Chain A
Amino acid sequence: MNKALLKRLIWTIPTLLGVTVVTFALVQLMPGDPTDISLRSKGIIPDAVSIAEIRRQMGLDQPLIAQYGAWLNEIFHLRLGLSFQSGLPVTKELALRLPATLRLMGASFAVACILAVPAGIVSAWYKQQHLDHAVRFLSILGASLPHFWIGAMLIYLFCIRTNLLPMMGDGGIMNYIMPSITMAAGMAAVYARMLRAGMLEAIADPHYKAARARGIKQSRLIVQHAIRPALLPFITVIGNSFGYFWGSSIIVEAIFSWPGVGRLMIDAIFNRDYPVIQAITLLTAACVIVVNLAVDLIYYWLDPRIRAEGGRYEEL
């Protein structure tokens, strides 16, 4: 049984390597010379001699393969370089920003579940009735609106019109409400749809019918035989939503002045802060890989029937 699992684990390694190659290549593809940019970002007008000297110091005169090797070695030792903008080690910058983003992602995930779980269940239970239609309509709406549109509307309603919620920044629980709803809206729709489909499948299953025929308690019936089987595929979506949340954090953090990694990223892109861009891209991809691996392992552990072979191809 563990052969497939082992294979899955082993194939993670080339993927991780691939991620480092892409991240490294991104910087090579970028227009502009990193040395020049790093000097200019400090307000220094570079001249040819100092550029050549710095290039030599930074090892940029080496062949690409050697540069990649050196860089990989640095990464391996968790040395991500210095930010061009702030001059601080990138690891430190990340450590400073990561908690805020993770908290926001956690809150958004919670909000997505709070919205989606009841919606999905209700929708499945009242299949093709008004409630189902309403839920599906709302979920299409939620998935169809750009983040900043939702964000702007929330701000308009709760800050301008009523002044009920704080508008920006990290802080108390109230600060989480608007950004997490903005971020969760799209995902909640996906979750609800998955749950609905999963429950319908479970209800159609002979197990469910048998259980009902046995006349077991209704609450148990629903939880054990309708919701629980539906949750299993749900787990795989979590892996995917991780990447989704990470991507949308860039926009949501900009709207709500959230001091997280997303904002660091956008600043870095606009200022061509290569080390920061590289670090965040790498970190994100590594996280996505690890989370997906974890999800697979959990899935495997929960449902041994699943063959890891063939891969999971699901949405998003």
Chain B
Amino acid sequence: MRIKNAVRYKAPIEMLKPWFILMLAVIVIAGCAKESSEAAPSEAKQITVASSTDSGINRLDAASYEGMMQAYPLIYDSLVEYGEKGEIQPALAESWDISPDGKEYTFHLRKDVQFSDGTPFNAEAVKFSVDRWANKPEHDWLLTSKNLKSVEVIDEFTVKLTFTKHYYMTLAELSYPRPFRIMSPTSVEPAGDPEGKFVKAIGTAAWVQAEYIQDVQTVFTPNSTYWGDKSGIDKLTFKVVPDSQSRVLAAQNGTIDIAGGEVSKIPLESLSLLKNGEKTKLATQKGTASYFLVVNDANKAIADKKVRQAINYAVDKQSIARDLFDGTGSPATGILPTTNAYVSEDNNKGYSYNPGMAKQLLNEAGWKDANGDGTVEKEGENLVFSLVLQTEEYPEWKPLAEAVQDQLSKVGIQVELKVLEQASYYDALWKNKDYDLLIYRTYADAFNPLSFLMALFYKTNEAPAVAFGTEQLSSLIDRAAATLTDEERFKAYNDIFQLMNEEAMSVPLFYPDDLFVVNNRISDVQLGATTFRPIVWEKLRLDEQR
């Protein structure tokens, strides 16, 4: 065909006009199908926080595990709150008495409190909440629920909880984000029935639910009947932003005001941008969690204490903190940072970086690089470990694992990285132990040290420990749990940490800081003592001039 001939016609572009108009119309219709809900910047003092998951406020039963952890304390108060280094502070309970045998807890409640819907807060309301969780099988992992014998209303503002056994963590457990917080009897239907069906989240805490669009955002407004200090802002919006990179960008252009912590982790790579950004600053404090390697002693090589110690010596914790993570945390020494209760400089020494020592220990254990291929071997077999990790929740574990891989290769240990998706990763950790080394994090704040040790390092006659366990360690943990005084407890934990260190039961890697990026227009950012109450939201202030 002769296309050239066609050129004498006008260019067809003109004829495309109807197409353009039609298509524009389509896209406009598509776009307008949903009314623009662009949040107009009104006078209302509003702060938007990024969260990586939905708040789940519509099923935020105080005695359930359905919602975002940080959402519970916004709505519900607990009897006592967890402070720095495990200091228990009064909340709904002004004071409390513990019987000498540690089995009876009597709480004296505040008298000036009511639930956000006007329901009076009193001993009956506490009893309702306690009845809702008491002895339920799903809370058996918390001894406070499992060992609860009775709850008695002494008078209008006094409640007594009686347990079958003494357990020193009871107060700490009561401060957990769930399931022990106090919910209004009117939250369920029929009202006041502990077995009632949950209908609405009603509590005594600083915030109430205002608006909720699932997977988009949850808006909280100050609780007008709140017993504590009045909030400095009018609206607190949790906007769901699942992608960490999007959170950084949103913080930079001011779409969100706060991101970080466990609510919405910000990638460490972006911190330099946010540190002294045009619109952003950082708020940090030392964290209470740590990243460490779980070692699987089912592997014959790892069962040898010298090999475990060699791995500890081979990891350059300083370089990880300084070079890899740009000083956004501290080099790890022991399994838990000293920001935790009962952890001190003395019982938390850890292993220094000493590749020479590592090689020597490997040598003593019979692992030598005889054939010169760079990997040590014993009886003709190379020393190869699998290192399992996940990146959905902790994207920084990938570079961390690569750094560890490189450092171990320098002492002749070959490491194969296995990045699993979240569910398989947790299967590997909790169920099938399909790993030699695995990156994990310790629990944080109120869950440390006892809940964490129980969960990972406690071995019973029926079941082996999830991470690493010996009979000796289990009996020490039992001893710590049974202690009645702080002094005894300190001694017990000293023994525990020293044993874990000496036996190299784990490979501590890094103590990450709690990191938040905050818009410059916000002042008075006070970070909380726990990951489930990461920021004291009601204390936030907005600078007017910006």
Q: What 8 additional pairs, Cβ within 8 angstroms, besides A110-B26, A267-B242? A: A44-B137, A122-B13, A155-B249, A172-B36, A173-B32, A203-B1, A203-B3, A270-B392
Cβ contact within 8 Å between B246 and A257: yes
Interface pair B23/A103, CB less than 8 Å apart: no
Could you name 10 residue pairs across A and B whose Cβ atoms are closer than 8 Å?
A32-B427, A40-B426, A87-B59, A113-B26, A168-B241, A169-B216, A175-B31, A180-B27, A263-B215, A264-B215
- A203→B36 CA distance, assembly (Å): 45
Contact with A171, one of B23, B28, B36, B431 (Cβ below 8 angstroms) = B36
Q: When chains A and B are docked, how far (Å) is the Cα of A271 from the Cα of B213?
A: 22
CB pair B23 A204 closer than 8 Å: no
B-binding segment of A5-13, A19-27, A159-167? A159-167
Q: Is the CB of A173 within 8 A of B36?
A: yes
Partner of B423, one of A110, A122, A271: A271
Q: How far is the CB of A152 from chain B (nearest CB, A)?
A: 8
Decide if A114 touches B23 in the complex (CB within 8 Å): yes
Residues of A within 8 A of B15 (CB): 219, 222-223
Whole-angstrom distance between the Cβ of B145 and the nearest chain A Cβ: 12
Chain B residues with CB below 8 A from A175, complex form: 31
Q: Of B4-12, B328-336, B339-347, which stretch is located at the interface?
A: B4-12
Contact B423 A37 (CB under 8 A): yes
Q: Which residues of B contact A59 (CB under 8 A)?
A: none
**Among B227-235, B250-258, B395-403, which stretch is in contact with chain A?**
B250-258
The answer, yes or no, to whether B449 is at the interface (CB within 8 Å) is no
Residue of B nearest to A112 (CB): B23
* B24–A114 CB distance below 8 A: yes
Chain B residue with Cβ nearest A256: B246
Q: How far is the CA of A203 from the CA of B65 in the complex (A)?
A: 66
| Pairwise interchain contact B28-A173, C-beta atoms closer than 8 A | yes
Whether the Cβ atoms of A159 and B216 lie closer than 8 Å is no
B35 shortest CB reach to chain A, Å:
8
Which residues of B lie under 8 Å from residue A159 when comparing CB positions? 249, 253
Residue numbers in A under 8 Å from B239 (CB-CB): 169
- State A44–B6 Cα separation when bound (angstroms): 74
In angstroms, Cα B239 to Cα A259, docked, is: 11
**B: interface residue count bin:** 35 or more
A168 to B, closest residue via Cβ: B246
Interface assignment of B37: CB less than 8 Å from any CB of chain A: yes
Docked pose: A176 CA to B424 CA in angstroms: 35
Contacts of B300 in A (CB 8 A): none
Q: Are A86 and B19 in contact (CB under 8 A)?
A: no
Q: Report if A170 contacts B (CB, 8 A).
A: yes
Q: Is A230 an interface residue (CB 8 A)?
A: no
Indicate with 1 or 0, residue by residue over B59-72, a CB within 8 angstroms of chain A CB atoms: 10000011000000
Name the CB-closest residue of A to B214. A96
Cβ of A138 to closest chain B Cβ, rounded Å: 16
Partner of A167, one of B37, B65, B253: B253
Cα–Cα, bound, A92→B252 (Å)? 35
Cα of A40 to Cα of B427 in the assembled complex, Å: 10
- Complex alpha-carbon distance, A114 and B24, angstroms: 8
User: Nearest CB to that of B241 among chain A residues?
Assistant: A257
Q: How far is the CB of A158 from chain B (nearest CB, A)?
A: 10
Does A69 have its Cβ within 8 Å of any Cβ on chain B?
A: no
Q: Is B44 on the interface with A (CB-CB < 8 A)?
A: no
Tell me whether B27 and A114 are in contact (CB under 8 A): yes
- CB of B252 within 8 A of CB of A160, answer yes
**Residue ID in chain A nearest B28 by CB atoms:** A173
Q: Mark A246-260, 1 if CB is under 8 A from B, else 0.
A: 000000001111010
Min CB–CB distance B43 → chain A (angstroms)? 22
- Do B243 and A254 touch across chains, with their CB atoms under 8 A apart? yes
Contact A122 B250 (CB under 8 A): no
Q: Which 8 A-B pairs have the closest CB atoms?
A: A173-B31, A172-B36, A43-B65, A272-B423, A114-B23, A110-B26, A107-B30, A110-B27
CA separation between A155 and B241, bound complex, in Å? Answer: 15
Q: Cβ of A170 and Cβ of B12 under 8 Å apart?
A: no
Residue A269 CB within 8 A of the other chain: yes
Could you say which residues of chain B place their CB within 8 Å of the CB of A204? Answer: 1
Q: CB of A97 within 8 A of chain B?
A: yes
Query: How long is the Cα–Cα vector from A169 to B237 in the complex, in angstroms?
Result: 14
Chain B residues, Cβ within 8 Å of A155: 246, 249
Cα A44 to Cα B139 in complex, Å, equals 7
A2 at interface (Cβ–Cβ under 8 A)? no
Is B19 a contact partner of A167 (Cβ separation < 8 A)? no
Q: Does B27 contact A176, Cβ atoms closer than 8 Å?
A: yes
* B21, chain A: closest CB distance, angstroms: 10
* A37-52 at interface with B (beta carbon < 8 Å): 37, 40, 42-45, 50
Cβ of A263 and Cβ of B19 under 8 Å apart?
Answer: no
When the two chains form their complex, are residues B16 and A121 in contact, meaning their CB atoms are under 8 A apart? yes
Closest to A104 in B: B30
Closest Cβ of chain B: how far from A220's Cβ, in Å? 10
**Is B224 close to A, CB under 8 A?**
no
- Counting chain A residues whose Cβ lies within 8 A of the other chain, the interface size class is 35 or more
Considering only residues 408-428 of chain B, those with a C-beta below 8 Å from chain A are 421-424, 426-427
Q: How far is the CB of A167 from chain B (nearest CB, A)?
A: 6
Q: Are A86 and B30 in contact (CB under 8 A)?
A: no
A300 at the interface (CB under 8 A from B): no
Contacts of A257 in B (CB 8 A): 240-243, 246
Known contacts A125-B12, A155-B249, A160-B253; A118 and B37 CB within 8 A of each other: no
Smallest distance from the beta carbon of A156 to chain B beta carbons, Å? 8
Q: Which chain B residues border A187 with CB–CB below 8 Å?
A: none
| Closest partner residue, chain A, to B59 (CB atom) | A87
Whether A280 sits at the interface, judged by CB under 8 Å, is: no
- Near A by CB (< 8 A), chain B positions 34-62 give 34-38, 56, 59
Residues from chain A with Cβ under 8 Å of B32 in the complex: 172-173
Q: Report yes or no: B246 in contact with A125, Cβ–Cβ below 8 A.
A: no
Residue from A168, A172, A254 within 8 A of B255 (CB atoms): A168
Give the contacting residue for A111; candidates B19, B27, B138, B245; CB below 8 A.
B27
Contacting pair B249 A160 (CB below 8 A): yes
| Contact in complex: A172, B38 (CB < 8 Å) | yes
How far, in whole Å, are A176 and B30 apart by their CA atoms in the complex?
Answer: 9
In the assembled complex, A133 has its CB within 8 A of some CB on chain B? no
Report which of B23, B59, B216, B431 forms a contact with A170, defined as CB distance below 8 A: B216
Binary per-residue interface labels of chain B (198-241) against chain A in the complex, 1 for a CB within 8 Å, 0 otherwise: 00000000000000011110000000000000000000000111
Is A106 part of the contact surface with B, judged by Cβ < 8 Å? Answer: yes
Residue of B nearest to A263 (CB): B242
Question: Which of B9, B35, B216, B241 is the one whose CB lies under 8 Å from A218?
Answer: B9
CA distance A150 to B242 in the complex (A): 19
Chain B nearest Cβ from A195, distance in angstroms: 11
Whether a CB of chain B sits under 8 angstroms from the CB of A265 is: no
- Whether B33 and A103, one on each chain, are in contact in the complex, defined by CB atoms closer than 8 angstroms, is yes
Whether B66 lies near A87 (C-beta < 8 A) is yes
**B138 & A171 in contact (Cβ 8 Å cutoff):** no
Binary contact readout B256-294 vs A (1 if CB under 8 angstroms, 0 otherwise) = 000000000000000000000000000000000000000
Nearest CB of chain B from residue A91's CB, rounded to whole Å: 14
Chain B's closest residue to A126 (CB) is: B3
Q: Hey, which chain A residues are within 8 Å of B26, CB to CB?
A: 106, 110, 113
* A117 part of interface (Cβ distance < 8 Å): yes
Chain A residues, Cβ within 8 Å of B33: 99, 103, 106
Check A97–B12 contact: CB distance below 8 A: no
Residue picked from B27, B141, B424, B430, most chain A C-beta under 10 Å: B27
Beta-carbon contacts of B514-538 to A below 8 Å, as 1s and 0s?
A: 0000000000000000000000000
> Smallest CB-CB separation from A37: which chain B residue?
B423
Cβ 8 A contact of A42, one of B19, B138, B252? B138
Please give me the residue from chain A that is nearest to B19 by CB atom: A117
Q: CA of A168 to CA of B51 in the docked complex: distance in angstroms?
A: 13
Complex contacts, A254 vs chain B, CB 8 Å:
242-243
List, in ascending order, chain A residues with CB within 8 A of B66's CB: 42, 86-87
Q: Is A127 an interface residue (CB 8 A)?
A: yes
